[in-house]
Amino acid sequence: MKIKTLTINAIVAALYVVVTLVVAPFGFTNIQFRLSEMFNHLIVFDKKYFFGIVVGVFIANIFSPLGGYDLIFGVGQSVISLGILILLNKFVADVKVRMLLTTLVFSVTSVLVAWELALVLDYPFLYTWLTVAISEFIVLAVGAPIMYYINKRIDFKKIIN
């Protein structure tokens, strides 16, 4: 991995952690408005962002009140979702469609976070999945145009390569 790619991923990870901790009370429960999830859209522009996103999730989840469970389930959800998206992105060229797929994949795979909350906090599973999925969908749907327009200014693909 090039130093430039490593540096950009470190910046992404740091931004993910900072944004998560700023809204921490709203990022670790069954209604998760974790604004940093909008960084998941970086995978749309280049698969090299995978490591920055995953490391950011890992570090942010160290501060989770759910402890080690969040390191397994939360990071697991990110790894699985990003992996699915890397595969799907091979077949989809349109950036807006990729962003829609990112929003949908992360919303559906939030089942892992719901499972975690059901195990740890004894929340009702299906209701929790619904609330986490809706929260994830809203954050990613709102984040998509933001990331799209930031990309118009700074070109995420060019930055990481």
For 46-99, write each residue's pLDDT tens digit.
Answer: 999 999 999 999 999 999 888 899 999 999 999 999 999 999 999 999 999 999
**Cβ-Cβ contacts under 8 Å for 42 (sequence gap 6 or more):** 12, 49, 52, 53, 147, 156
- At 30 the pLDDT is 62
**Cβ-Cβ contacts under 8 Å for 112 (sequence gap 6 or more):** 73, 74, 76, 77, 80
Q: Under a CB-based contact definition with an 8 Å cutoff, are residues 156 and 45 in contact?
A: yes
Closest CA to 73 of 28, 131, 20, 139: 28
With H, G, I as helix, E, B as strand and everything else as coil, classify residue 93. Answer: coil
**Residue 27 in this model has a pLDDT that exceeds 60:** no
CATH, domain range 3-159: 1.10.1760
**Residue 142 in this model has a pLDDT that exceeds 80:** yes
Q: Under a CB-based contact definition with an 8 Å cutoff, are residues 89 and 98 in contact?
A: yes
- At 102 the pLDDT is 98
